[in-house]
Chain A
Amino acid sequence: MGKNKAKAWLKLAAIIALCVCICAEGLAATLQMGSSGDEVKTLQTKLKRWGYYAGSIDGIFGAATKRAVIAFQKKNGLTADGIVGAATLKALGMNAQSGGAGNSAGSSNANGSLYLLARLVYGEARGEPYKGQVAVAAVVLNRVKSSQFPNSVSGVIYQSGAFSVVDDGQINLTPDETAIKAARDAMNGYDPTNGCLFYYNPAKTTNKWMLSKPVLLKIGNHSFFK
């Protein structure tokens, strides 16, 4: 009983700590009634483009801007308080300025593919030597570049039947640091397989076609071929 109580207190403390963190972050980059500047201009531009705001883009957070923000928050399932905090900024696609290099207006989805690739690597090759993990990621990227396969990372990975970890759901495991690093190294050009498109585990497969192909290299439990 005492143990449970202690646990409950601990949970409560953690929640409070979390709230404090979120609040602190919110305060760090908050736009609200009375704010002004370029950030507010960006905010107004976005709200206007999406049809929430009809006023002028003057860079001053007034009543009309607040109404627009509330409308946006309601539509997007956010707390409709008219204050643009971290969550609302994120929903607006406005990154809280942390100074430095992160000021590019353009964005890329490279991280999405990277993470998906890392999940595949983790599912297929955790426990393999690092070189073997990079090699599995490289095979996916080689397939993307090949005419025989779909032309995107997600297309290749989710191609029906292509990877057993996609069939059995292991693809959804959270990848470890090593798998993420392997995926990134492969995306940066490392290819230990020298252009291979397939790999198999000789101990597990009985597939005639695979076994008939000349193996270009072996890493850990996997044999790679083109």
Chain B
Amino acid sequence: MDEERGRRSARNNEEMSEIDAINAMNAIDRISGTRGGADGLWAGVTPKGMRDIMLNGGAEDMPPNVEQPPREDKPQAQGGQASSGRGAWRTAGRIALPIALTAALIITAVWGNGQRALAENYRQQSENAYRRAFIELCDHMDNLQTALGKLRVTAAPGQYMLLLDDIWRLSGACVSLMGQIPAAHLDRAELNSFVVRIGDYAHALSKKALNAEGRSAEDDEQLNLLYASCVRISRELNDRLSIGDIPTAAIANEDYYQSGDAEQGVKEDEDIAKFPTLIYDGPFSESSEKLEPRGLGGPSVTAEAARTIAQRLTLAADLESDGETGGSIPTWDFRAAQQDGSELYASISKQGGKLVWFMGSAAGNANGIPAEDRQRRLKAAAQDWLGMAGYDNMQATYAQYYGGAAVINFAATLDGIILYNDLVKVWVDMETEKVIGADARNYIFSHAERELETPAISAEEAEAKVSLNLEIEARALALIPLTVETEKLCYEFKGRCGDDEYIVYIDAQTGEERQIFTIINTENGQLTA
């Protein structure tokens, strides 16, 4: 406001309104303590006068008509001596501008100081959080090292389990803390993997112990290596802590990918040597992260042949090339513009020419479970499509209905046994009841010719192993994934406990309870967890 006024008076002296002018003059009169003079007086405002003006917050702040101007001033201002009056305006402007600017500067300075204090406060708080996370990480790594050490010398099964449990918990806590500390991904990734795998490995060892399998000589050797690495990491971290080298400055996206070492190639090799490779079967094990698809056979196909396959399966008229994708399942990619302006995408594996996935969009936007006859029709449409795509013996398992489409999961069956790993998801438009998408990646990864064992125990024997709290409603035989690399033939029991639905899997060979799922009924369909 002040600034605006000041600028106005400086630029448009002539247009200054009468009241403004009088006020300004009065104010200056008051300050200088004299009145009556014209040009000479205005020009003679002393530095002290300036200071006063500043302290008063500028001439413009003076309320109008606080002091009635003496009569003799009026004619002077209104034009009796026009030329000297205009000069007065000009001078008033010359003073008002610096005043306004100074005022603005002071206000900005005060405001800026407040902002600085605020920013300092925030910085301190985030720094505290980072510091806390780092110190806690050091503590946990210490404890992890201790637990690993004890694990090597314990002989009591109870103690052994407790220690494994501790390691599993500490590893999880360390990973969570590492995610909170600002550091480049490249500096952290290997350590993160290592700590994740320690926990994963401990979990695998607990499972082994629960199955009354002892620790192998290999395990002992791995534990020794793990302990040694952990001791080293823990010492490094604590050294950093003691010299105060704690990462506390928040990092930006660009820093996240930047590493201290420019020669990343060299560093990666060193890192691999720094952490021992663990051999076990768990979700984060190295072998599972390097999993190769089992269901890709057959000769490789050209982009043209792939386009023909895609055209047949997606029913899209003019597919154009959308490049290719590398990785574990290299594909030819295609796209097509749809009538409604959306796009359809499809990927065909280069080897074997299999549809990996295709994704169109639904016409409507409906959510929620449709009426039963419609559900049946949607399922039938999906089943027809699967037949056309060469997937025989598929059984619908779960479905979700959202965004105008039904997503129906189909699992392969073999002699009436459900193979949950061999999964194909099919998207069906709820309005047009046409297939608009599919995802066969899981199937391609896991499908292989299988020799299934015959169950060693009967369904009745298995049922006897199920908790009495479950009211069993259905039973079946199923092959379920137990870890990433192992599958088990199990009896599947669906049932209820109170209002909740559960699925319990009993190993068909040993009668052990292998897995429990709970079914979550949502308004959009069923989920399992």
Which A residues fall within an 8 A CB radius of B? 100-108, 110, 129-131, 134, 145-151, 155-156, 158-164, 167, 177, 181, 184-185, 188-196, 198, 200, 205, 207-210, 212, 214-218, 226
Contacts and interface: CB of A to CB of B under 8 A. Distances in A.
Contacts of B178: 150
A194 B332 CA distance: 12
A150 B175 contact: yes
Interface of B: 172, 175-176, 178-186, 189-190, 192-193, 196-197, 200, 250-259, 262, 264, 283-284, 289, 323-329, 331, 333, 335, 342-343, 345, 347, 357, 359, 361, 365, 369, 400, 402-403, 407, 425, 437, 439, 441-442, 498-501, 518-523, 526-527, 529
Contacts of B331: 194
A101 B175 contact: no
Contact of A160 (B180, B335, B403, B529): B180
22 contacts: A100-B369, A100-B523, A101-B522, A102-B522, A104-B522, A107-B520, A147-B197, A148-B193, A160-B182, A161-B185, A161-B252, A164-B252, A189-B425, A189-B442, A190-B439, A192-B357, A193-B327, A195-B328, A198-B257, A205-B257, A210-B257, A216-B327
A114 to B, nearest CB: 10
B521 A102 contact: yes
Among B193, B257, B335, the one with the most A-chain Cβ atoms within 10 Å of its Cβ is B257
Nearest to B442: A189
Given A146-B289, A150-B175, 15 more contacts: A101-B369, A104-B500, A107-B520, A108-B529, A130-B343, A146-B284, A147-B289, A148-B193, A151-B172, A159-B179, A162-B256, A167-B253, A188-B400, A190-B359, A217-B323
B359 A185 contact: yes
A194 B527 contact: no
B498 to A, nearest CB: 7
Contacts of B425: 188-189
B329 A148 contact: no
A161 B518 CA distance: 36
Contact of A101 (B259, B439, B523): B523
Contacts of A200: 257
B403 A196 contact: no
Secondary structure class of chain A's binding surface, majority of residues: loop
Given A101-B522, A129-B343, A160-B182, A209 B327 contact: no
Nearest to A177: B365
Contact of A147 (B184, B193, B326, B442): B193
B83 to A, nearest CB: 45
A108 B327 contact: no
A150 B325 contact: no
A141 to B, nearest CB: 13
A216 B182 CA distance: 28
A151 B425 CA distance: 25
A155 B328 contact: no
Contacts of B200: 147
Given A159-B179, A162-B185, A212-B264, A189 B439 contact: yes
Nearest to A206: B254
A226 B327 contact: yes
A143 to B, nearest CB: 10
A192 B252 contact: no
B298 to A, nearest CB: 19
B520 A160 contact: no
A130 B501 CA distance: 36
A130 B369 CA distance: 25
Contacts of B289: 146-147
B237 to A, nearest CB: 17
B184 A161 contact: yes
Contacts of A164: 252-253
B289 to A, nearest CB: 7
B343 A155 contact: no
Nearest to A208: B262
Contact of A103 (B182, B439, B521): B521
Contacts of A181: 403
B179 A160 contact: yes
Contacts of B189: 148-149
A162 B183 CA distance: 10
A217 B359 contact: no
Nearest to A156: B179
Contacts of A145: 283
Contacts of A167: 250, 252-253
Nearest to A218: B323
B441 A150 contact: no
Nearest to A213: B264
Across the A-B interface, the 5 shortest Cβ-Cβ residue pairs: A161-B256, A164-B253, A194-B327, A150-B179, A161-B251
A156 B189 CA distance: 12
A105 B500 CA distance: 6
Nearest to A225: B326
Contacts of A158: 179
Contacts of A150: 175-176, 178-179, 192
A155 B522 CA distance: 25
A105 B369 CA distance: 19
Nearest to B330: A194
Contact of B258 (A101, A106, A207, A215): A207
Contacts of A108: 520, 527, 529
Given A101-B369, A207-B254, A217 B264 contact: no
Nearest to B197: A147
Given A150-B176, A216-B326, A110 B527 contact: yes
B179 A131 contact: no
B325 A194 contact: yes
Contacts of A214: 326
B242 to A, nearest CB: 23
A177 B441 CA distance: 26
A218 B333 CA distance: 11
A41 to B, nearest CB: 13
Given A131-B343, A164-B253, A189-B442, A102 B333 contact: no
B520 A161 contact: no
Given A184-B402, A209-B257, A217-B326, A105 B498 contact: yes
A216 B41 CA distance: 80
Among A148, A212, A216, the one with the most B-chain Cβ atoms within 10 Å of its Cβ is A148
A206 B264 CA distance: 15
B520 A209 contact: no
Contact of A106 (B255, B441, B500): B500
A170 to B, nearest CB: 12
B283 to A, nearest CB: 8
